[in-house]
A and B are shown apart, each in its own frame.
Chain A
């Protein structure tokens, strides 16, 4: 697989099906793993990092899950390609900097990816569509088991998996779920919900990564604590919390439908109308309108649209994606034009 092969199809996790997929975009679990005694990436020499990468590559080559995977060496990539992988949620922004010895291993359908030599030697990630943490855990757990037969992981019985940052020590697991909560935002209940989440020591942040305001009404919720509970327990806690958030979003949507159906329908159809007819559009405006359209599909107000098409647009309207599709560097204003034409094409506009 070449990087350019990714342009024309998006990850399996965007397919828009699975439990609660009207509200939950995707479930993701990340495990951090290090090799015993080898310096962590922040203290490794260039030679050391390269040797870690070789060890990891050899270990994964014998494992079924990695059969159809590709390794991308980050230092060989240009900025647009790196940004492209970040936009697909396959790697972090940090992984695109100080790239010597860093690599990204990506499986066929982008279900599985491994950042090698990011903050830890390995950051293994599995993503699934909908609320599917249990299934996601099953997959990543067996991948981890297979890897642990081939690699000597840094582990202590007392503290579990040892990571570069003590905030990850223990299970070294981060489970996160991407939620679409437009009705809680529209009914101004979102801050109440987010502060309840924070009190329970879960983190929430936006769809487009660190530091961004939640855009398109997407919120990613993940566990903060990684030590003192088993993996299953942590995931159960996230599930329990999510069920409540989902329930609140459902209620808010129903309330909007009952109390102010014409307003809601107007908003949804106008959003679709603008997306279908705009010739210049910013990414900010796009995600706001797409969010309304997505809710329109969920509420059966829009009947002929596929959720997957809308999900994919959230990814493909980003700068690096537009430039990869166009096959060349585009200025900000050229991107706004390209974005509008891509959206019209996908939504069947004028």
Chain B
């Protein structure tokens, strides 16, 4: 593969670039990549983010080779990694554990604290979020086979949900 910029040398650096909310793949030779990264750092300060994304690509490859795909839109995880675009809302559930890391790298957080559709009052919303957090922690405990912890969290959730009803 040849370098996207000079078109002469062999592309050895592959990076994901984000410009105006668009993510695109670039294949560059080492020299052009260096120039490009200096430029981008000056313009957007995105180098940390890009490093994070590249790292995320590697990490997943090592961990998992089996194809993971969304049952709703049939997007498989490999394709998402290539395109940087999800296929539907259900992809977020299917690829949940991978996305949790990626979102954290992109945004520095993976908890939504903004508005919700419809008219759920904020205080109540926060509570739902907390419950969802604990539920999530519980699932993680189950995955780790830490059933004692999971049971403890389950009771906590029950307590909170009961309180909520009364």
Contact = CB atoms under 8 A, between A and B. Distances in A.
A113 interface: no
A169 B100 CA distance: 11
A153 B120 CA distance: 14
A166 B85 CA distance: 7
Interface in A157-177: 157-171, 173-174
Contact of B23 (A162, A167, A174, A230): A167
User: Which 6 A-B pairs give the minimum distances between C-beta atoms?
Assistant: A228-B109, A198-B45, A160-B112, A154-B89, A171-B114, A148-B117
Interface in B88-116: 88-90, 92-93, 99, 102-103, 106-116
Interface stretch (A35-43, A75-83, A128-136, A288-296): A35-43
Contacts of B119: 145
Contacts of B73: 39-40, 43
Contact of B89 (A157, A162, A201, A227): A162
Interface residues of B, number: 49
Given A36-B89, A160-B116, 6 more contacts: A39-B88, A144-B115, A158-B111, A165-B21, A167-B23, A210-B19
A120 to B, nearest CB: 10
B89 A34 contact: yes
Given A169-B103, A201-B45, A211-B19, A119 B85 contact: yes
Contacts of A158: 110-112, 129, 132-133, 136
Interface residues of A, number: 59
A210 B20 contact: yes
A150 to B, nearest CB: 11
A40 B107 contact: no
B15 interface: no
Q: Which of B21, B44, B111, B116 counts the most A-chain CB atoms under 10 A from its CB?
A: B21
A149 B118 CA distance: 6
Interface string A49-91: 0000000000000000000000000000000000000000000
B60 to A, nearest CB: 14
Q: Which of A37, A162, A210, A225 counts the most B-chain CB atoms under 10 A from its CB?
A: A162
Contacts of B102: 166
Q: Which of A158, A160, A166 counts the most B-chain CB atoms under 10 A from its CB?
A: A166
B164 to A, nearest CB: 14
A148 B88 contact: no
A111 B44 CA distance: 28
A149 B42 CA distance: 43
Nearest to B107: A227
B42 A191 contact: yes
Interface of A: 34, 36-40, 42-43, 92, 94, 119, 141, 144-145, 148-149, 153-171, 173-174, 191, 194-195, 197-199, 201, 203-205, 209-211, 224-231, 233
A228 B88 contact: no
Given A42-B83, A119-B85, A157-B132, A227 B111 contact: yes
Contacts of A168: 21
Given A43-B73, A168-B21, A174-B21, A231 B114 contact: yes
B106 to A, nearest CB: 6
Contacts of A210: 19-20, 22
A141 B118 CA distance: 11
B72 interface: yes
A229 B89 CA distance: 21
A171 B89 contact: no
Given A173-B114, A227-B111, A209 B20 contact: yes
26 contacts: A34-B89, A37-B89, A38-B88, A39-B87, A39-B88, A40-B88, A119-B21, A148-B118, A154-B89, A155-B116, A157-B116, A159-B103, A164-B85, A165-B84, A165-B85, A165-B86, A167-B18, A169-B107, A174-B21, A191-B42, A198-B41, A201-B45, A210-B22, A211-B19, A225-B106, A227-B110
B32 interface: no
B129 A228 contact: no
Contacts of A173: 114
A192 to B, nearest CB: 11
A92 B90 CA distance: 26
